[in-house]
Each structure stands twice: as structure tokens, then as C-alpha cells.
Structure 1
């Protein structure tokens, strides 16, 4: 697991409303060993990660951002692959109007005023958020658990 043996299985909840586009983000830690060698077990056991990444690569979305349009509805599935760190998934500059985690909604459209800024997950947990962008711009995503 500490060397990247992980993935995601998506099971849509019953009656899940359609969205314009979906993404899957898997957060995990990297415990780098010498070039070409397995991860460093001492680092893994000591929880001394070299990087926390989304979908396996450090800073990949900084150099290849995901394109999204205003007025469209998006769903982002998030899985905390761990093996050790929790996540608090956040998209800077937007509010989630739907939050679903561990088989239940914590926020749904029509639940009243407001929304959520974070999807908090422990290792091996998953869920999704839904939102749309009102304005063009750069909307980086981060984990506030760092």
C-alpha cells in the first residue's frame, strides 16, 4: 500500500442526479527510496512522507490544469488512499452544494442556505462533492489537512 497499491471503485448512490462532468481524485503519500528501488520502509513506518499527491504525481495539475467551464455542474469523487494521512479536500474559491461521504449525504441541494468548503476523509474513505463555477478563473484544489 505504501508503494502505491491502491485505486478507486465508484459505486453511484441510487438516483444520483446527472452532472456535466466527473473527475476522480485519489490522494496518497509518497515514501521515496533510492532511484529504481521500492519505497523507503523506514519512512513509511515513521510516517515521514516525501510528498502527498493527487492521482500519483506531485504537482501534476499545476503544470497540466483541469479545464472547467462556468455554468456547468461538476462532481469530484475523492478517495483517501493513505496509507497514513487524512485529507480535507478543498477547491479554492468555490463552495460545494453537495457533499457525500461513506455512503451518506452530509449536504444536498435544497438543504437550505450555505454550503461546504471541505470534504474530510480518513485513509481508505471516499466520497464526492458537487459544485459549479460562477466565474472564469483559476481554482486550485488542495488538502487543508497538511
Structure 2
């Protein structure tokens, strides 16, 4: 699935992609193909040996910590899981957003608690973080991680 995602990203000339690889074999293959990747297999291996909820949360939240670090350094980030395939260039749409839009999220109808409280939930499979107000955006990301609201 990730190779299909990369093919579409390259076709659109999204050359600054970074893949979070969940296993060492995928990471090694991506590096051999000269794709930018981060090896997250140590966290996944820790979860595989314990199956503790906190370990799988660490696996899943690592990407959000990385995003927070990029935004903190003034880099706007479009985060997409491998299931979010770009068929058309989304950059013009992101750039056309009003200046006061700091974050764009994909809506979801699960989990139900946020839906009941706010009328919607967030699917973290597709998110855009603008770095203009980086302090507030980073605080939001870190607060979400702390509260366990990510996924």
C-alpha cells in the first residue's frame, strides 16, 4: 500500500515525503529505494512482546510527536496515512485556506464520545498543520497526545 501511496506522491512531485516504517524490513527496502523513511520498528516490537495498550499507543503517537517537532521548527505538515491516496494536487487547496486556518482535519463519525459532545470526531489519517502559529499548533498536538485523543 505504501508503494502505491509513494507512486502517487511522486507523480504529483511531492518530493519531501517521509515514511514512518513500522517494521525494519520495510524501512530497509525504502532506504534501498532512496525514499526518506524513519524506522519505528523498535516501538512496534516492544508492543508485540507485551501487547500492552500503552505500547501500541506509543507506536501510533510517534508520528504525531514527529509532526509536532516539524511544526515547531516552522515547517507546515500534511500528514497522510497510506490509505489517503492523492489523485490530484491538494497543495493549491491548502494554500487557498484563509490565513486564520491553522489546522485542517478529516471528519469522522467515530469514536462516539466526541460525536456526541461536538457533533463530529477527527480521523487522524489526513491532517494539515500550518506552522504560522506554531506555538499554538504544537501545544494542540501535544495536548491531544497527552489526553489520549489521537485515534
**TM-score range for the pair, normalised by the shorter chain length:** 0.3 to 0.5
**Which protein has greater RCO, CA pairs closer than 8 Å, 6+ apart?**
1
Q: TM-score, normalised by structure 1?
A: 0.35
Q: TM-score, normalised by structure 2?
A: 0.34
Higher-strand-fraction structure: 1
